[in-house]
Amino acid sequence: MSKNTDSSIKLLVLYDILLKSTDEEHALSTNEIIEELKKRGISVSRKVLPSDIDLLNKYGYEICSYVKKSRYYYAVHQFFDTAEITMLADVIKASKLTQSRKETIINKLYSTIGLYRDTATDNIIFLDAKKFGNSSIIYNIDAIETAIKQKKKVSFVYFHLDENKNKVYHKGKKRYVFNPLSLIWSKDNYYLLCYDDRHDGTSRYRIDKMESVTVEGEPILEKEEFNNFNSETYRKQVFSMFGGELEKVAIQFDKELLSDVYDKFGMDIQIHKSSDGTLTTTIEVQVSKTFFLWVVGTLGKVKIIEPNNVKERFDSFVKEITDNY
Nearest to 121 by CA among 139, 140, 95, 141: 141
Average pLDDT of every residue of the chain: 78
Strand-strand pairing, 176-186 and 124-126: parallel
Class of CATH domain 242-324:
alpha beta
Dihedral angle, C-alpha 137, 93, 261, 193, nearest 10 °: -30
Contacts of range 222-231, beta carbons closer than 8 Å, 24 or more positions apart: 223/195, 226/179, 226/181, 226/195, 229/181, 229/182, 231/123, 231/125, 231/182
Looking at residue 235, what is its pLDDT? 54
Length of the chain: 325
Phi (first) and psi of residue 134, to 5 degrees: -160, 110
pLDDT for 51-61, tens place per residue?
999 988 888 78
The predicted model gives 207-223 an average pLDDT of 88
Residues of the chain with CATH 3.30.70.240: 242-324
pTM: 0.45
The predicted model gives 258-275 an average pLDDT of 81
The predicted model gives 245-258 an average pLDDT of 87
Looking at residue 117, what is its pLDDT? 47
Name residue 281's amino acid: T
Looking at residue 25, what is its pLDDT? 80
**pLDDT of 242 strictly over 60:** no
pLDDT band, very low/low/confident/very high, at 73 (cuts 50, 70, 90): very high
Q: Work out the percent of the chain whose per-residue pLDDT is above 90.
A: 24
Residues of the chain with CATH 1.10.10.10: 3-75
- CA 53 to CA 75: how far, in whole Å? 10
CATH architecture of 3-75: Orthogonal Bundle (1.10)
**pLDDT of 150 strictly over 60:** yes
pLDDT for 36-56, tens place per residue?
999 888 888 889 999 999 988
- CA 226 to CA 202: how far, in whole Å? 11
